[in-house]
Amino acid sequence: MSRSLLYGATKVDETSGAYAAITSLEQFQWKNRVVVIFPDKDNSRAARQENQLMADRTGLEERDIVVLKLAGPAIRSLFGASTDLDAEAISRDLGGPSPGEFAAFLVGKDGTVKLNVREPISTGELFAIIDAMPMRAADTVAQ
């Protein structure tokens, strides 16, 4: 399973855009984490990912997660509220996959990419990654 985990960097190269906030998703910054799903050609992996996420709506809500699905120029909110989103800008900003290739991204509340997977990830794995983040710990204490 190909997975890039960008969480836990101790030093950020400010000349690199790798840790820059995703401007096309700025309406969520400091309020929500965003999972962006890019469907595969036959939609099988994307459907599996959607089903896994939607099976735990309470977990999504507790972690302030918005789930979006991008297919070409179309964008659909699967969970959580969103307005005026530009699918092409989001795909470009995330470095989305080629059309017909599955990918899922987790964008943290700080607006940076925390996870990039090319195979569906279980909600248990996703939630464990989120729950280990300092901002999630702060969220939990504040509640």
Domains in the chain, please, with CATH? 19-142 (3.40.30.10)
More confident of the two residues 4 and 11: 4
Identify the pLDDT of residue 58.
98
Tell me the per-residue pLDDT of 35-64, one tens digit each, with 9 for 90 and over.
999 999 999 999 999 999 999 999 999 999
Residue 142 has pLDDT above 80, yes or no: no
Query: Kind and range of the H or E element at 78?
Result: strand 74-79
Provide φ and ψ at 34, rounded to 5°.
Answer: -125, 130
Residue 107 has pLDDT above 60, yes or no: yes
| Interval 106-118 mean pLDDT | 96
For residue 143, name the pLDDT band (cuts at 50, 70, 90): low
Query: Kind and range of the H or E element at 77?
Result: strand 74-79
CA distance 35 to 12: 23
Contact in structure between 46 and 37 (CB atoms under 8 Å): yes
pTM, two decimals, is 0.84
Contact in structure between 77 and 68 (CB atoms under 8 Å): yes
Identify the pLDDT of residue 32.
97
Residue whose C-alpha is closest to residue 70's, from 113, 39, 92, 41? 39
Q: In 3-state terms, what secondary structure has residue 79?
A: strand
